[in-house]
Amino acid sequence: MVVTNVTTAANLFHLLRRQLKWPFRKPLINFSPKAILRHPGTYSEKSAFINGAFKEVIDDASVTQAGDINKVLFCSGKVYYDLQEYKQKNNISDVAIVRVEQLYPLPAVQLEDLYKKYSKSTWFWVQEEPLNMGAASFLQMNLKSINFGMIGRQPSAATATGHSKVHAQEQAEIIETAFDI
């Protein structure tokens, strides 16, 4: 099977296209919420649809010199847009945000290449879900070649708090922790 959490319209298009082009059939599980496709950041240029291909990992396009990066936040899904918004709002230039678009099979080679590129940086996996849910434990078991910390909600029996104010506060804490740690 293939498990994804896509963050751009063009990447979703190419994911579905790749799924149909394969000469074999494999189940596709996409965790992207429909609401993410309405986020302005997910919009893609026409050229990305025409000339692009599915990207299992998307590097931070705003990084000009990899040596200037002190921290790499890698994540999957809509938490990327919260991290990106905070980075832009606070004019942070020494942090790279890498998106993992395909969670299974894990694109370990692409991640290891980025780990070499940002070799002087500290790496953190950031997720919205409690740390005993989501991709955190999967990555911890399967991505042994990269040394990284994890940032997310405290382990919990429930996936959500049930209160929008508490959720918003926890989300803000996750984002602030990712940049302040």
Q: How far apart are CA 42 and CA 7, in angstroms?
A: 6
State the pTM of this model. Answer: 0.94
Return the pLDDT at 158.
83
pLDDT tens digits, one per residue of 70-114 = 999 999 999 999 999 999 999 999 999 999 999 999 999 999 999
pLDDT tens digits, one per residue of 1-21 = 999 999 999 999 999 999 999
Q: Is the pLDDT of residue 161 over 90?
A: no
Burial (CB count <10 Å: 0-12, 13-18, 19+), residue 37: middle
